[in-house]
């Protein structure tokens, strides 16, 4: 009998929070292309934009709502009437619309940014959540800067949101300040205050300013969160959001540890990453987890030898699982003879031990100056070594 696995929803905000970061802006056609790929990937919700931000954003959300029917579409709105009405307009074509209403709850944001008292904030949350529920069945409330909000007031704000119709509560680490233990504890306290209502889903939305967005998201899952808000390639404001592909693979590889599962099709992760890179023109780091160019590349001889014998020695997940065409055995100064022999075989050569030694000497010598030996470089080396052997053999006098 299998172990029951709880479902974690993946709320993709690539088209909204991700697109807000400098250099990642997308036009309507690009948003539609990306939204179709996100649907193919199997995300649970697509946040398509912030309609009040501009006429173009409103039209883009409307277009995505019209074109992508199989996934619920969310639109962001501040706890203001104009924002909510703009989101309502944008979501009209959506088959499954969701309103995402947010208001800052930390004293810093309330005092410096909004010039509101806590009482005024609670009134705004109550009235605007209620207004949104007049138009859509599913309303999410986000307490902006929740990670720096006094916990008693955060619990109070969440209770008011639920009382007025919110069924999803998002407690974002807006500025990437939290650490996993603190972030998870915050959710546990809110759950306890609300008596853990079954009809309310808790959501995590983490930023990567301290490089902890994925770790914090996973800590939230352990604390009972059942929706994670993330972006493809981790794009987003400042240092970005939790990377969808990293969250997805962590939950899949460590499924028994977390006791949850997603409905994501992991073999669509690489394609999703590449499409976003193509649309935005922003390359990802080679050492980026899961989808980076080096994520399944091996240069060290000891690692290469292990991979040749059994990929599990140095890979916790196969490249094919996430849609990467194949792993790479990179030829460099750290490479070993086993990897070199495999590379030569792939090029159609079956070297003798002497030929392999000479090729190895040349490869390591070239790698010292060029850092990496390309397939065409190896082809040249192999051809020269084998050709010299043939010439030497033919020049030997016949007895």
Q: What is the pLDDT of residues 200-232, one digit of tens each?
A: 999 999 999 999 999 999 999 999 999 999 999
Question: CATH 3.20.20.70 in the chain, residues?
Answer: 6-280
Write out the two tokens for 197: 């209502």
How many Å apart are CA 378 and CA 396, to the nearest integer?
Answer: 28
The pTM is what?
Answer: 0.83
DSSP state of 333: T
CB 120 within 8 A of CB 80: no
Instruction: Write down the pLDDT at residue 284.
Output: 86
Q: 28: closest CA among 56, 66, 65?
A: 56
Q: 101: closest CA among 120, 129, 134?
A: 129
CB 262 within 8 A of CB 281: no
How far does CA 148 lie from the centroid of its chain?
Answer: 24
Neighbours of 282 (CB within 10 A): 13
How many Å apart are CA 259 and CA 112, to the nearest integer?
Answer: 41
Q: Is residue 7 very low, low, confident or very high in pLDDT (cuts 50, 70, 90)?
A: very high
Q: For residue range 237-256, list pLDDT tens digits in order.
A: 999 999 999 999 999 999 99
How many Å apart are CA 258 and CA 147, to the nearest integer?
Answer: 23
* CATH number of the structural domain 6-280: 3.20.20.70
Instruction: Write down the pLDDT at residue 390.
Output: 43
H-only helix segments in the chain = 19-20, 28-41, 55-67, 81-90, 107-108, 118-133, 151-163, 180-193, 213-222, 244-253, 255-258, 269-280, 301-309, 337-346, 353-370, 375-394
Q: For residue range 130-151, list pLDDT tens digits in order.
A: 999 999 999 999 999 999 999 9
């Amino acid at each position: 009998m299998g172990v029951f696995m709880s479902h974690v929803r993946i709320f993709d905000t690539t088209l909204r929070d991700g697109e807000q970061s400098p250099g990642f802006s997308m036009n309507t056609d690009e948003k539609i292309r990306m939204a179709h790929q996100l649907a193919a990937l199997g995300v649970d919700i697509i946040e398509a934009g912030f309609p009040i931000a501009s006429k173009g954003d409103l039209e883009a959300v409307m277009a995505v709502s019209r074109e992508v029917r199989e996934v619920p579409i969310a639109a962001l709105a501040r706890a203001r009437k104009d924002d909510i009405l703009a989101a309502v307009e944008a979501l009209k074509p959506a088959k499954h619309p969701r309103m995402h209403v947010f208001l800052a709850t930390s004293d810093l944001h309330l005092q410096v940014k909004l010039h509101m008292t806590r009482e005024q904030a609670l009134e705004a949350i109550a009235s605007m959540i209620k207004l949104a529920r007049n138009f859509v069945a599913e309303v999410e409330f986000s307490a902006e800067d929740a990670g720096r909000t006094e916990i008693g007031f955060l619990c109070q704000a969440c209770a008011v949101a639920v009382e007025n119709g919110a069924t999803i509560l998002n407690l974002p680490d807006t500025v990437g300040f939290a650490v996993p233990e603190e972030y998870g504890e915050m959710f546990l306290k809110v759950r306890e205050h609300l008596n853990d209502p079954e009809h309310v889903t808790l959501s995590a939305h983490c930023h990567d300013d301290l490089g902890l967005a994925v770790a914090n998201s996973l800590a939230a899952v352990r604390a009972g969160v059942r929706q994670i808000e993330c972006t493809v390639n981790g794009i987003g404001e400042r240092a970005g959001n939790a990377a969808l592909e990293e969250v997805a693979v962590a939950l899949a590889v460590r499924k028994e540890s977390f006791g949850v599962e997603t409905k994501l099709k992991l073999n669509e992760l690489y394609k999703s990453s590449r499409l976003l890179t193509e649309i935005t023109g922003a390359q990802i780091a080679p050492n980026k987890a899961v989808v980076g160019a080096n994520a399944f590349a091996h240069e060290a001889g000891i690692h290469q030898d292990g991979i040749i014998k059994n990929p599990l020695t140095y890979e916790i997940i196969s490249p094919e699982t996430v849609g990467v065409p194949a792993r790479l055995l990179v030829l460099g100064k750290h490479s070993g003879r086993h990897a070199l022999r495999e590379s030569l075989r792939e090029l159609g050569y079956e070297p003798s031990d002497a030929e392999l030694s000479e090729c190895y000497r040349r490869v390591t010598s070239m790698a010292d100056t060029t850092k990496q030996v390309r397939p065409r470089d190896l082809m040249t080396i192999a051809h020269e070594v084998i050709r010299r052997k043939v010439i030497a053999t033919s020049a030997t006098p016949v007895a």
